[in-house]
């Protein structure tokens, strides 16, 4: 994927574009503090323009497709316009590509695994050892799957990819690659991999769930040897958490074959004896679609484009460089992957780390309960990659697996991950680093106990009034 230039010194504040950043959350000591969210690689808060677009649409919401009333016609028009906005956002050609809406990237990749036309001659998928489970497990269950190896720092071993392509040759049907890792933030050379893939007569899917919120995606024309055949995106990682994802791919694939899910909306004609399937994308959008989610995704895309994806990348590179510089001084910290602030523009704003002598479960819990800072800890749905990054060998991994399967998660391996979004600030990074210094010095008040069943630490006496923040009770 393409890189942006090194960040400039001017820092931008995009916080006004977002909803809920002023909300206070309770701390263990009984006070409240403005929440700092550094868990953006998992999910992002809504943009105000997205929230406004959804609310403005809701009075006109109606069923899409084939409804004769004005509200239905308007809803249909907006739903299809959202589809074209998504296609344009990823550089797709509406004549060559289709956009299939679904719940998320996981559903999209599972759909592709069931719909891709594997043959007896071409039935191998090459994926990588750094993938999110969603771009690994579906292929394992669909066909023969092999994993491209990694360099010691966690980056893709392209020489091993070349070796596998030579070994399996024209048996390779598909290469499944993440655009950017949700663990390390590494960007993969996806266009170069795509060119090699097509030279071997295979196709490529690029999981852009983590990439698309931070960098420009360009699928390119099918005539271009570096093109992507399929990409996936997730709205909840793009500041539109309304339950939508998209699979964008070749029309010539999705116009043929039986859909993986059948029912209303997928057909042209049904008799008691025969079924004629609809064309793409309707063939693969069974049931009533998430119209609101599609509109939210389109609104998020328009706002990201207004900001400019280069500006998005620059802002997050500044945060990452600042964080890496400050984190160096935290005693006992081990940062995984690229630790160089000077190369922050060549990666995403995702920083995985651990603190020596402290459980990742405990550090993450203290950050949340005593400092109001949300991070993620664990394996981030990328277990093989985490084990590799942590240097855990097969014997250790099996012992840990046995312990976990016995119901004891206390020693489950994992990392702490801080991940940045467009709305985060340098001041928030400073508060985060300051909190880590205090945790290392033992300057936290709570007494924490670990739950054997899930490994998590909880402070004794923590009993917030959740209903005062949100309740389903009718006024």
Catalytic residues: 381
Alpha-carbon separation of residue 376 from 9, 16, 167, 220, 322 (angstroms): 29, 25, 39, 34, 20
What are the structure tokens assigned to 345, written together? Answer: 């523009």
Between CA 284 and CA 281 the distance in angstroms is 6
Tell me the CA distances in angstroms from 184 to 31, 92, 156, 224, 341, one per residue in order: 34, 28, 11, 30, 14
Q: Is the dihedral of CA 32, 36, 39, 41 positive or negative?
A: positive
Distance, CA of 270 to CA of 214 (rounded, Å): 44
Query: Whole-angstrom Cα distance, residue 214 to residue 206?
Result: 15
- The upper half-sphere exposure of residue 20, i.e. CA atoms within 13 Å in the direction of its Cβ, equals 12
Q: How far is CA 352 from the centre of its chain?
A: 15
Distances (CA, A) of 156 to 130, 153, 355, 407: 8, 9, 26, 34
Preceding amide of 281 cis, omega within 30: yes
| β-pair partners for 118 | none
Residue 322 dihedral angles phi and psi, to the nearest 5°: -65, -45
């Amino acid at each position: 994927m393409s890189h942006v230039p090194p960040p400039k010194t001017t820092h931008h504040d995009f916080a006004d574009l977002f909803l809920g950043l002023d909300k206070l959350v309770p701390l263990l000591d009984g006070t409240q503090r403005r929440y700092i969210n550094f868990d953006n690689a998992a999910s992002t808060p809504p943009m105000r323009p997205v929230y406004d677009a959804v609310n403005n649409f809701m009075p006109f919401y109606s069923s899409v497709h084939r409804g004769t009333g004005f509200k239905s016609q308007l809803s249909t028009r907006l739903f299809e316009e959202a589809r074209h906005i998504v296609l344009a956002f990823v550089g797709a050609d509406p004549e060559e590509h289709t956009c299939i809406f679904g719940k998320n990237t996981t559903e999209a990749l599972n759909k592709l695994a069931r719909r891709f036309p594997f043959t007896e001659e071409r039935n191998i998928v090459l994926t990588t050892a750094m993938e999110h489970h969603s771009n690994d497990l579906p292929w394992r269950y669909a066909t023969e799957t092999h994993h491209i190896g990694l360099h010691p720092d966690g980056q893709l071993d392209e020489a091993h990819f070349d070796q596998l392509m030579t070994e399996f040759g024209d048996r390779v049907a598909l290469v499944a690659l993440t655009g950017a890792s949700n663990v390390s933030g590494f960007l993969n050379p996806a266009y170069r991999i795509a060119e090699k893939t097509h030279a071997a007569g295979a196709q490529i899917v690029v999981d852009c769930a983590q990439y698309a919120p931070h960098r420009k995606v360009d699928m390119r024309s099918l005539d271009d040897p570096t093109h992507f055949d399929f990409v996936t995106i997730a709205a909840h990682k793009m500041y539109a958490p309304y339950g939508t994802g998209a699979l964008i791919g070749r029309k010539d694939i999705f116009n043929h074959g039986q859909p993986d899910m059948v029912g209303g909306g997928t057909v042209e004609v049904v008799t008691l004896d025969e079924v004629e399937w609809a064309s793409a994308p309707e063939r693969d959008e069974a049931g009533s679609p998430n119209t609101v989610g599609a509109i939210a995704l389109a609104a998020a895309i328009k706002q990201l484009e207004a900001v400019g994806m280069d500006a998005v990348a620059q802002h997050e590179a500044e945060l990452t460089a600042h964080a890496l510089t400050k984190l160096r001084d935290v005693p006992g910290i081990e940062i995984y992957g690229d630790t160089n602030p000077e190369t922050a523009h060549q990666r995403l704003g995702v920083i995985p780390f651990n603190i020596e002598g402290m459980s990742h479960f405990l550090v993450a819990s203290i950050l949340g309960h005593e400092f109001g800072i949300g991070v993620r800890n664990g394996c981030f749905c990328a277990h093989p990659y985490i084990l590799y990054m942590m240097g855990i060998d097969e014997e250790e991994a099996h012992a840990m697996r046995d312990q976990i399967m016995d119901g004891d998660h206390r020693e489950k391996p994992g990392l702490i991950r801080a991940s940045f979004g467009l709305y985060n600030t340098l001041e928030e990074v400073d508060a985060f680093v300051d909190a880590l210094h205090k945790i290392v010095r033992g300057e936290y008040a709570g007494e924490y106990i670990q739950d054997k069943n899930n490994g998590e630490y909880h402070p004794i006496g923590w009993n917030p009034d959740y209903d005062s923040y949100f309740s389903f009770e009718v006024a």
